[in-house]
Amino acid sequence: MARRKPAGRRAQPSNRSAGGPAGSTGELRIIGGDWRSRKLRFPDAGGVRPTPARTRETLFNWLSFNLVGKDCLDLFAGSGALGLEALSRGAGAATLVDRTPALARALRDNLRLLKTDAGEVVCASVDAYLAQRTRAPFDIVFMDPPFHQDWLPRILPVLDQQGWVKPGGWVYLEHESSSPTPTVPAQWHLHRQKTAGQVSYCLFRTATTDAIAPVALS
């Protein structure tokens, strides 16, 4: 996931074109797992930079016993910091969604560099991607949306209503520390929460007894 500059503010990712990893100005370092210390490049499209290493380490410590083999969704993927970190640490698959073509190209290039076919990149807006579920629900969903654009109140109900998260699954989200924790569906239970400067991040678990609505898989 990616944080947009300036610090404390998040800008909607632009669709302006940029080069692939070879011409990029940003760098992501994987901090754990099979690809630990691998450095990956991504384009400076909209001021994207990776979620800080300390925040990622905290998150993946929270998930340490619930990650291996899991199917993950990384929304607002940006540099891919969360989805790629999850794959490095043993997740079975990750779908990375970002609407910026240059970032989507860089994500695909970096998956090839890592020689993995466990990642899928979708170049689409998050609301369009979530509008109708046409696949099995995910074990873990990561969300680090642009700040000050009210993304979470719009998409959290959709995640629940469309059954995007498995019963007993995990939902991670980031929001401005100046704002209260967003209202989440009643069957999501706060597991861990922490604030670092201008960012608060939370991990929720969905109720294990929830029934997932049937869906016609394509």
Question: Alpha-carbon distance 32 to 88, whole Å?
Answer: 7
Span 104-161, pLDDT tens digits: 999 999 999 999 999 999 999 999 999 989 999 999 999 988 888 889 999 999 999 9
The torsion of the CA quartet 137, 67, 143, 82, rounded to 10 degrees, works out to -130
Distance CA 17, CA 100 (A): 8
Q: pLDDT tens digit string along 167-191?
A: 999 999 988 888 888 899 999 999 9
Residues 96 and 121: beta-carbon distance below 8 Å: yes
Q: What angle do CA 182, 150, 43 make, to 5 degrees?
A: 115
pTM score of the predicted model: 0.84
